[in-house]
Amino acid sequence: AQSVAQPEDQVNVAEGNPLTVKCTYSVSGNPYLFWYVQYPNRGLQFLLKYITGDNLVKGSYGFEAEFNKSQTSFHLKKPSALVSDSALYFCAVRDFHNTDKLIFGTGTRLQVFP
């Protein structure tokens, strides 16, 4: 069965410092991997995705993620955090062959302190 794990419930980082939000996945075939961000009382906003190609994927708002097949990870990164990046971040995976559905991780709350 496909699954995604986000091992950290919360990540705290000072403004201007680099941030990393971790995600590992488990799928039977080739994964499609996504990152979404959710602000309070808002929908899920798409940040970036990995389908094939370069392992380093660049997305919206200066975020990027690195696909690592050997470690089955897809960590979200940003070189310099902003207070406005504070939100709930979800990693999601979609099975290559199969279903329409996205399987989400449990989410990581990012708190950026000024």
Partner 1 sequence: AAGVIQSPRHLIKEKRETATLKCYPIPRHDTVYWYQQGPGQDPQFLISFYEKMQSDKGSIPDRFSAQQFSDYHSELNMSSLELGDSALYFCASSLEQGKDTQYFGPGTRLTVL
Instruction: Give least dist CB 37 to partner 1, A.
Output: 11
Task: Report the residue number, 15 or 88, with the smaller CB distance to partner 1.
Answer: 88
Computed on alpha carbons and rounded to an integer, the radius of gyration of the chain in Å comes to 13
Query: 103 forms bridges with which residues in the sheet?
Result: 93
Residue in 8, 66, 86, 103 binding partner 1, rule: CB under 8 A: 103
72-96 b/e with 16+ CB inside 10 Å = b?
Answer: ebbbbebeebeeebbbbbbbbbbbe
Name the nearest CA neighbour of 13 among 67, 89, 66: 89
Q: Is 111 in the site for partner 1 (CB under 8 A)?
A: no
Give the Cα separation of 49 and 53 in Å (integer).
11
| Helix ranges (DSSP H) in 37-76 | none
Contact with partner 1 (CB under 8 A) among 24, 107, 110, 112: 107
Considering the complex, state which of residue 14 and residue 51 has its C-beta at the smaller distance from partner 1: 51
**Smallest gap, in angstroms, from Cβ of residue 114 to partner 1?**
26
Interface segment toward partner 1; rule CB under 8 A; list 10-18, 38-46, 63-71, 76-84 = 38-46
Give contact residues for partner 1 (rule: CB under 8 A).
Answer: 32, 34, 36, 42-46, 49, 51, 90, 94, 96, 99-107
